[in-house]
Every structure is written in C-alpha cells, then in structure tokens.
Amino acid sequence: MRKALALGAVVVFALAGCQEMKTTEERRTVDPINIIDEANLNDLMLTVGDPESSVAYFREAMNRDPERVDFKRGFAISLSRAHRYHDAATVFAQLEEASALSNDDRVEYAFTLTKLERWDDANRALSGVDSNYESARLYILKGMFHDQQSDWILADAAYGRALELSAQPAVALNNWGVSQMSRGDLPGAISTFEQVVYLAPSLFDAKNNLVIARGLAGDYRLPPISVSETEKALLLHNLALIALRRGDVDVAKGLLADAVEVHPLYYAQAAEKLRALESAGI
C-alpha cells in the first residue's frame, strides 16, 4: 500500500511538473511583449524598417499595455519618422505632461516641433535638457536655432561639435551644408555636400542639396554622382526650378524635357511645367 501511495505520489508530482512546464511555455507564447523586450525589438523598430510599420508596431504594443512609457515614446518617435509631425507632437506633449521625457526624448520632441515651424515651443522643449547632456542630434538642433537667428559663428560651432560627436558624420555635414547655403556661402555648401555624397552615396537629400547649391551658383550640369533614373529625373526637375528662379527659361525648359524623358514612368509634374512654359510662349 505504501508502495502504491509512493507510486501515486510520484505520478502526481510528475503531472504537476508537466503542468508547471506547460504553464511556463504558455506564458512565453501568450505574452509576446516580454519576448519582444528580451530581443530589444523596440530599439530595432526605431532604427530600421518602414516608419509606418514602426507606427503600427508601437500602436499595437500600446493597446496591449497602455501603461508602458517606452511604447508611447516609441510611438511618438515613429510618428515623427513617418512625417506625421502633428500626431507626434501630441504624443510627446502627453509624455511631457506625465514627466516621462528623457533628454533624448526632449531633443526628438524639439525636432518635431521645428518641422511644424513652432520654434519657440521647440526652444522651450529643449530648455528641459540637462546642462551636461551632449549628443550630435542636440548640437544639430542648436545649429538650426542659430541659423534661424543668422548667428553663423555659433551655428558653425554647433555643427562642428555635432560632427565630433556623430557616429554618422554625413547627417551632421548635410545640415551644416544647408546652413552654409542659407547664408549664401555656395562654394562652402557645395564642398560640404560633396563630402556628404562621398560618405553616404545613397542619401538622396545630400544629392539634391548638392544639385541645388550648384544650380544657385549657375552650374546646371548634374555632378558625377550615382543616381537611379527616378532620382535623376527629380534632380533635373529641381534644377529646372532653380534655372527658372534665376531667369534662365530656355535652360529650364531643356532640363524639364530631359526630366520627362529620363523618368521611367510618366513624370506629370515636369511635363505640366514644361507645357505651361511652352503655352505661355516663354
């Protein structure tokens, strides 16, 4: 009898052990958020992939656990990356009201506000950053503020510091080139954008900025850079707009015609502008 009881106890213990193991496995499958956190996918979703996918990911995560500040933060940053600045600013404001903004968050919030041309609000958001905090993105933002005030000496100092701190110098340099272009230093801007294109050959913003700076200097040739057919058409179109601004109408018409011809699909914007110029007999 004792042997039977002992055997029964072993069976019950074994079943209890199996049940415990099963429950553990179930917890691993029904709580994907914990698994996601273990794999650091929050950070991954903020740095790679389609911005709208990140927005959807963090929206779903917030629905699962609305109290998680890191999900709300990711949602705000993803919205900003997706160029949904009004929505992003609203979520950042909620985080600020809850005193849940880190230094990095405040910088992102300020960047979002600058996209909405809310410079005073951006400056206020930035005022909450710790005085000993430094990052390349912070100094790029400071450079942009100095650009707004036409304080080129401080702007150069800010962009220079951003370059020192940046793991991606092309980003800091691209912003510095825009600053140089805005103050009329076209040779300096062209040189800076050439560096950016060399460092980041796939960065279309830098290619576009280089073409615009060259166009403003009167050079309507595309520089020797690697571009797709679509990118080339866009650059020719934008160069045509610069030519029009400078009064070089015939050059602009030729560039628009080239843009229409080069584009792999129908380039409506360039074609419509070309037709308008020709219809006006210009």
Section 204-227 average pLDDT: 93
State residue 46's pLDDT score.
Answer: 59
What pLDDT score was predicted for residue 9?
A: 33
- Asked if the structure places residue 103 within a domain, the reply is no
Residue of 61 and 20 predicted with greater confidence: 61
Do the domain assignments include residue 4?
yes
pLDDT value of position 32: 38
Give the residue numbers spanning the domain of 16: 1-25
In a domain, 119, yes or no: no
Average the pLDDT over 163-171 and give the result: 92
Residue 9 lies in a domain: yes
CA–CA distance from 130 to each of 90, 134, 139 (Å)?
23, 9, 13
Query: In the prediction, which pLDDT does 30 show?
Result: 34
Is the residue at 1 inside a domain? yes
3-state secondary structure at position 201: coil
Task: Indicate whether 18 belongs to any domain.
Answer: yes
Whether the predicted pLDDT of 7 surpasses 90: no
Name the pLDDT band for 27 (thresholds 50, 70, 90): very low
Q: What is the mean pLDDT of the chain?
A: 83
C-alpha distance from residue 21 to each of 33, 39, 187 (Å): 20, 22, 69
Which residue in this structure is represented by tokens 């805005």? 182
- The pLDDT of residue 35 is 37
Residue in this structure with the two tokens 């290619």, named with its chain if needed:
207
End-to-end CA distance of the chain: 110
Quick check: 5 pLDDT over 90?
no
Instruction: Please choose, from the candidates 114, 169, 124, 116, the residue with its C-alpha nearest in 3D space to the C-alpha of residue 147.
Output: 114
* Position 80 in a domain: no
165 part of a folded domain:
no
What's the domain count of the chain?
1
